[in-house]
Amino acid sequence: MKLSELKKFFVSASSAFVVPVLAVLLGMIVGAVVMIASGYNPLAGYSSLLYGAFGDPYYIGETIRQTTPYILAGLAVAFAFRTGLFNIGVEGQLIVGWLAAVWVGVSFELPKAIHLPLAILAAALAGALWAFIPGILKAYLRVHEVIITIMMNYIALHMTNAIIRSVLSEEGFKSKQVHESASLRSEFLESITYHSSVHYGIIIAIIGAVIMWFLLEKTTKGFELRAVGFNQHASQYAGMNVKANIILSMAISGAFAGIAGAMEGLGTFGNISVKAGFTGVGFDGIAVALIGGNNAFGILLSALLFGALKVGALEMPSSAGVPTELVDIIIALIIFFVASSYVIRLLLSRLKKGAE
């Protein structure tokens, strides 16, 4: 293939796909440089990371399990982004959703066909309610959602800790296990992945991605939500209820985050415990959304990347002697290059001019 044809191939690809991929590659390359500068072998480091993420069925199961809440957290952030809002409160909405799901899971004994959907619905409602507060403040008082959602993360953390200690806890720091009828655990998935902690939540996460895509791209309400995000004044002139759409956008974003919490409470852990700090999943969801281009299906891939990095990193110290902190550096570099997408697009435009 000639050089000019190669240039045309790269330029013809969608920018929304090329930019995140290049950002990941650049992050990995610079990460390799950091490993070399720190005295580690990058080939051994990346090989052990890859093996730790996909090397055998157990690792694959753990990667899928880690990917599940990342998908839903990424969807929560991306839905807000697509509708002109910046939801930094996904972490707090996830925590209250986790609490609500576990509370329903331990407080009732119902048939599984009722109990499990009810627990997930409770998580979605809790997350939506937690996001509704900054939404209504944004819509009616013009209070910036970033400030409110950041503060509400801390309220969610300490409020749930207090509820766990006073209401749900039997041992002082964690709840009982949810009833089997409310659990997402799958003996089948565990058996084919050598008893990993993978569960049925991955199916719910994928359905969530489809729902977000359909809602935003194929419905009139989705068009309204995106239009309000693009230009509130034009939307209001066109007869759209701007305030109601702002509140609805935040509530839907919070619902996705709440369901992410349910995946942890009903699937991975089966309970909720007092937390000394944030889980980090909600904050990582911002990066997942950015790398996925705020696209529902792009988020599936970026969440898988994050799940693989997080799980694979656990293998690096034992196999290659590389500290897991280097994975956080790589993630930070990837986010940096995604944020610097203007530079990547500039390089792509230069390639396009050279190819013409």
Mean predicted confidence (pLDDT) in 146-174? 91
Predicted confidence at residue 352, as pLDDT, reads 60
Q: Is the pLDDT of residue 342 over 70?
A: no
Instruction: Tell me the C-alpha distance between 204 and 25, whole Å.
Output: 30
Burial of 28 (0-12, 13-18, 19+ CB in 10 A): middle
Residue 97 has pLDDT above 70, yes or no: yes
What pLDDT was estimated at residue 353? 60
pLDDT at 12: 46
Q: Is the predicted pLDDT of residue 355 greater than 60, yes or no?
A: no
Per-residue confidence at 319, pLDDT binned at 50, 70, 90? confident
- Only one residue has tokens 């090329």, namely 18
* Band of residue 130 on the pLDDT scale cut at 50, 70, 90: very high
Helix axes 281-291, 90-107, angle to 10 degrees: 120
Write the single-letter amino acid at 158. Answer: H
DSSP 13: S
Tokens read off for 118:
């009810």
Confidence band (pLDDT; 50, 70, 90) for 5?
low
Look at residue 19 and tell me whether its pLDDT is greater than 90: no
Lowest mean per-residue pLDDT among 28-42, 87-101, 190-204: 28-42
Q: Which of 98-102, 274-278, 349-353 has the lowest mean pLDDT?
A: 349-353
- Name the average pLDDT for the chain: 90
Residue 13: pLDDT band with limits 50, 70, 90: very low
Assign 3-state DSSP to the chain and report helix, strand, coil percentages, each to 5.
80, 0, 20
Instruction: State the distance between the two ends of the chain, measured CA to CA, in whole angstroms.
Output: 16
Q: What is the per-residue pLDDT for 348?
A: 62
Q: How confident is the model at residue 173 (pLDDT cuts 50, 70, 90)?
A: confident
Q: What are phi and psi of 169, to 5 degrees?
A: -80, 140
pLDDT at 351: 61
Mean pLDDT in residue range 293-300? 92
- Percent of the chain residues topping a pLDDT of 90: 72
Q: Region 51-57: what's the mean pLDDT?
A: 94
3-class state of residue 283 by DSSP: helix
The yes-or-no verdict on residue 80 having pLDDT over 60 is: yes
Residue with tokens 């089966």: 270
Element (H, E) at 338: helix 325-339
Where is average pLDDT lowest: 48-62, 219-233, 252-266, 323-337?
323-337
